[in-house]
Amino acid sequence: MAFDGARSQGFLARAMKAEMLDAETELALKLLVSAYIKLAVSMAARFRRYGAPMEELVQEATLGLLKAPCAALAVGATRAQVCRGAAHV
């Protein structure tokens, strides 16, 4: 399954609207996610063997990025979120 950037952008937009973020925070989150999207996809690819759809795993990884309080913790937060998503399949 190929990664569809347009779908992930729609997901990101829905996540931001749900939290009603101000413009500065929204911009910071977009920059964080765009900088680490390759990380999110590579983390998701590692968990494909557990049977979860790739799109769902990428969404979970993106949520992990959004939950990370800083870029230094993005790897751990992303891995933890993908593990939780893979466990619920």
Each residue's pLDDT expressed in tens, for the chain with a length of 89 residues: 444 455 555 666 666 565 666 778 778 778 877 888 888 888 888 888 888 888 888 888 888 877 777 777 778 888 888 888 887 76
Q: How high is the pLDDT of residue 63?
A: 84
Q: How many domains does the chain have?
A: 1
Residue 1's pLDDT is 42
What pLDDT does 17 receive?
A: 62
Cα gap 77→81, rounded to integer Å = 6
Cα–Cα distance, 80 to 74 (Å, whole number): 10
Residue at 40: amino acid letter: A
Domain of 77, in residue numbers: 5-87
pTM here? 0.60
Report yes or no: 65 and 77 within 8 Å, Cβ to Cβ.
Answer: yes
